[in-house]
Each structure stands twice: as structure tokens, then as C-alpha cells.
Amino acid sequence: MTQDSPSSAAASAAPVRFSPRRVWTLAYATMTQLMRMKILPFLLVFCALVALIGVGGSSVVNPEQQLSSFKSMSLGVLQIFSIVFGIVATALLLPKDLEDRTLYTILSKPVPRFDYVLGKLLGVLMLIASGLVIIDAVLSLILWTQQSGLYDAYLFQLHQTKQDTPEAIAQVREIVARQGLTWNLHWAVWAIFLKASVVTTVALLLSCLASSTLFTIVITFCVTIIGHGEALIREFVFQPHLGSTTKRIATLVLAAICPDLAQFDIVDSVANGEIVPWAAVYDMTGIAALYMTVYLFITHLVFVEKEL
């Protein structure tokens, strides 16, 4: 009977290190798995709906209302789409891998559980990001086409009513430039991605804690709703009934349990033509990274102790 050498035994007992290449492989496999869920047809349907919104709103005479309404509706639908997809897709991943016994095959290679969790999360986020980039391009094209056509149409209307004074023309040009295609649209899409990323990380944590896919989906939606209304909770629940110190503690506990998603809400500001400062973009990105790091760390601790 042959015996393993001390060096080979030590090598087999050594912990497997974190590997970015392994994480990328898992993320790519997750993207492929989600693509089989027929997500691209939903993207195409969304793009068609956005195009119909743009064409259907052409009867609005005021160019400011036309462009603002288009941005508000399209970005609102995009936000709902990204959050719903992130929650449902993430909630289905772990149970699907358990059902197909893919998880046991992956972890027996061996693959560290942190690599598996991170790869799954990145796979979902990469697909969400890909969809948002595609839709952002569609929105930009439609918005650029709209602003050009509306500018010409409104100038023609001013000319017909003999109101085409230099001041009126300059005002129309300023409105179209502010409400048209600017970097604010891309910052709004980036904020939508950050919010969807935080919600997806929460869904991944709950998926490791729960054994039911439906429970994960329902609780994550509840956390999302509470996260959008934390300001109201602080104002109408904490403010009248709690002291200053207790209020601060309760606010921190609430923010730790449910991420304050209102910090990523810039869609209304963008729809109104307001400029989004770089500082706001940096703050949103840092807050999202902090939330995701904390939730991913807790997910790792839970998943390491989870019996499979």
C-alpha cells in the first residue's frame, strides 16, 4: 500500500485560495444560466415599449413636458425592471443549483464558498448591467431624435404665431438643451444599477438564510419597500416618539437592516432637468459599495455555516 508523501498531504490539506479567474468563470456560467431564462425577449419588449412611449407622447406641444415625461416614464419602468429581475433571478439561483446538484459539483472541485457566492452575485449584476447599457443606448437615441424634432416643431409653431423673437427662441433652445440628452440620463441609469445591485445583494443574503424561493422574493420586496420609505419612517415614527439619542440609534439599526434606497433616487431630478453633481454620483457609488460589502460579508458567513 502506497502512502502519500508529507508534501502531498500538506498540499491537499491546504486551504484553497481566492481566485479571480474562478470567480469570473462562475459569473460567466451564471450569466449563461440566466440567459436561458429568456431575459433578452423581455429586454426587447421593454425597448419596444420605450419607443412607443416616445412616439405616443408626440402630441404634447410643450417640449419641456414632452422630454420630461419621456424620461420619467422610461427611467421609472427601467428601475422597476432591474429591481424585479435582480430579486427573482437571485432568489432562483441557489435553489436551482441545489435541485440540479450543480452546487455539490462546484464545491467538490474544490471551490471556496466565497468564490461561489461572489461569482453568482457578479453573474446577476453583469447581466443587469448589460441590459441597462443596451437600454441606455436606446433611450439616448430616442431622446436625441425627440429633442431635435421638438426643437424644429416648436420653432415652426413660434414662427406661425409670429412669436419667434430672439428671447423666445433662446428660451426654447435652453429648455431643449436642459431636458434633452445629457450626462444626467446616464447618471440616472447608473443610480438605477446601484440600487438594483444593493437589492440583489440583499436577495442573495436572504436566499442563503431561507429555504423557500417565495419567502426570499417576498421578504426582499418588503425590504425594498421599507428602504424607499425610511425617510417617512424617521419623520412620522421616530421623530414624534423617540428622543434624540434613541432616534439616532433606531435610525442606524433601521439603516443596517434595510438599506436606505432613497439615496439612489435621482430619476425625478433628472426628469425635471436638474443637474446631477459629481459629488452626488461619488456618494451614491460609495454608499452602494459599502452596503454590498457588508451584505456580501454576512452572506459569506451564513453560507459557510449552511448545511447543504
Is residue 4 domain-resident? no
Is residue 12 domain-resident? no
Listed in sequence order, the residues at least 6 apart from 305 whose beta carbon sits closer than 8 Å to its beta carbon are none
Split at pLDDT 50, 70, 90, the class of 288 is very high
pLDDT in tens, 115-132: 889 999 999 999 899 888
Is residue 3 domain-resident? no
- DSSP of 36-77: TT-HHHHHHHHHHHHHHHHHHGGG---HHHHHHHHHHHHHHH
Is residue 218 domain-resident? yes
Split at pLDDT 50, 70, 90, the class of 246 is confident
Is residue 51 domain-resident? yes
Task: Calculate mean pLDDT across residues 88-103.
Answer: 81
- DSSP of 223-234: HHHHHHTHHHHI
* pTM of the full structure: 0.82
Number of domains in the chain: 1
Q: Give the containing element (helix H, strand E) for 280.
A: helix 278-305
Is residue 11 domain-resident? no
Task: Calculate mean pLDDT across residues 63-70.
Answer: 72
pLDDT given for residue 13 in this prediction:
44
Is residue 154 domain-resident? yes
Is residue 13 domain-resident? no
User: Rounded CA gap, 237 and 226, in Å?
Assistant: 13
CB 142 within 8 A of CB 50: yes
User: Rounded CA gap, 138 and 206, in Å?
Assistant: 34
pLDDT in tens, 250-263: 777 777 778 888 88
Cell of 24: 469570473
Residue 301, domain extent: 19-305
The candidate with the shortest Cα–Cα distance to 85, out of 189, 193, 191, is 193
